[in-house]
Amino acid sequence: MARTILLVEDNERNSYLAKYLLEHGGFAVVVAPDGPRALALVVEAAPAAILLDIQLPGMDGYAVARALRATPVASRLPIIALTSYAMAGDREKALAAGCDGYIEKPIEPDSFVAEIEKVLATVAARR
């Protein structure tokens, strides 16, 4: 049975590419286009991890990460920020909001799934 990833991404092209790569990497993928939908789907989908875009409409990824961490079902799930924010301090801001990892866009197709697996292994080792 494939592990499920909840992909929170509002850009259809980014969502398509990430979903394609993840599915070919052995994951099942559920997509949420915004924060409120992600908060609803985390209960329904029971994901093994969450990939979270930071630039989302309305509720940004930082707020989504904090809300997920306050939800019993997602309080310990690995959350990986997936963002084009690459300025000094952006990684730290994502981690402070509750993310366990940080992947910059544009994603590198050849290493994307391996980067996710690395974060998941690191989180599993800490817990």
CATH number of the structural domain spanning residue 24: 3.40.50.2300
Q: Are strands 3-8 and 49-53 parallel, antiparallel or unpaired?
A: parallel
- Domain holding 7, by residue range, is 3-126
Please give the pLDDT value at position 88.
80
Write the pLDDT tens digit of every residue in 12-21. Answer: 999 999 999 9
Counted domains in the chain: 1
Write the pLDDT tens digit of every residue in 70-124. Answer: 999 999 999 999 988 778 889 999 999 999 999 999 999 999 999 999 999 999 9
pLDDT > 90? residue 127: no
51 pairs with which residues across the strands? 7, 80
How large is the C-alpha radius of gyration of the chain? 13
pLDDT > 80? residue 1: no
Write the pLDDT tens digit of every residue in 21-53. Answer: 999 999 999 999 999 999 999 999 999 999 999
Question: Nearest Cα to 18, choosing from 50, 40, 56, 48?
Answer: 50
Element spanning 54, H or E: none
- At which residue do the structure tokens 């707020």 appear? 63
> Residue 11 corresponds to which amino acid?
N
Q: What's the gap between Cα 123 and its chain centre?
A: 13
The model carries a pTM of: 0.95
Please give the pLDDT value at position 95.
95
